[in-house]
Structure 1
């Protein structure tokens, strides 16, 4: 019962609020790059469309089919990613991974809202879903910068 109680605590009110109110949902009409990622463990998927100039994201949309934790991560990412550079998105991805796997520091601003997911560190089977939005966004932005 203790494990079940801990899992219920994991889904805090803030995580559920973020999951229920994801910004930038949908698809872009003319993206520079599109990436679809899937977590094989849980089946969560995300499709990210970006428009970028140089290495900076100027428009963003996401189609998210994930658990509440993956949705919460996508909510924070979607609300903060426009205007970010390749290096900033990479630092956020690396920071989130370190926070989950090594109890590292909170990812840098503007992605510091991902701190809400720190309790998920103990649930390794949820990490892939949480990482999807940043991994897909980084891959899409890398595609744009490589083709420039």
Structure 2
């Protein structure tokens, strides 16, 4: 069980700063694809709307109802998502998951700011929330590709 000092370390100023300034919040009207992902363990949820052209994200909005850790991950994603391909988002998601679950390295640029979430490795019950924005984005991109 986590102790108070562990939780203080987890919710660092950097994580809280990212969570307080999430880029591209809201909804797109109209999106070409929408996906919602929810973590049943904690109830966190992220809805992503996007537009894409030529396999790249050209418009993006996210509605984030998550803990500070999920919000921080959504912040890093939102700051770097425009112009990205599905493969780039998947690589970022996979590297983030490996960093959390397998003590893998920090994700490569443009998602290297996810390094801030390194203290969350020991909190496996938070991993699903941290991955939500990436998961929802991948699902929306798959929908957009199918519709194109």
Q: Normalising to structure 1: TM-score of the pair?
A: 0.97
Shift of 1:3: 1.7
Correspondence for 2:24: 24
Correspondence for 2:56: 56
Structure 2 unmatched ranges of 5 or more:
none
Is the Cα contact below 8 Å between 1:24 and 1:62 reproduced in 2? yes
Structure 1 unmatched ranges of 5 or more:
none
Is the Cα contact below 8 Å between 1:54 and 1:145 reproduced in 2? no
Correspondence for 1:143: 143
> Which stretches of structure 1, 4 residues or longer, exceed 3 Å deviation after superposition?
none
What are the within-5 Å matches in structure 2 for residues 112-123 of structure 1? Answer: 112-123=112-123
Cα distance in structure 1, aligned partners of 2:6 and 2:124:
14
Correspondence for 1:94: 94
Shift of 1:2: 6.9
Q: How many positions carry a matched residue from both structures?
A: 148
Cα distance in structure 1, aligned partners of 2:75 and 2:11:
15
Please give the per-residue CA displacement for 1:85-104, whole angstroms capped at 9, x wherever unaligned. Answer: 11100100101000000011
CA 1:15 to 1:82, structure 2 compared with 1: closer, same or farther past 3 Å?
Answer: same
Is the Cα contact below 8 Å between 1:90 and 1:138 reproduced in 2? yes
Shift of 1:146: 2.2
Please give the per-residue CA displacement for 1:98-130, whole angstroms capped at 9, x wherever unaligned. Answer: 000001111121111111101101000000100
What are the within-5 Å matches in structure 2 for residues 69-80 of structure 1? Answer: 69-80=69-80
Is the Cα contact below 8 Å between 1:38 and 1:132 reproduced in 2? yes
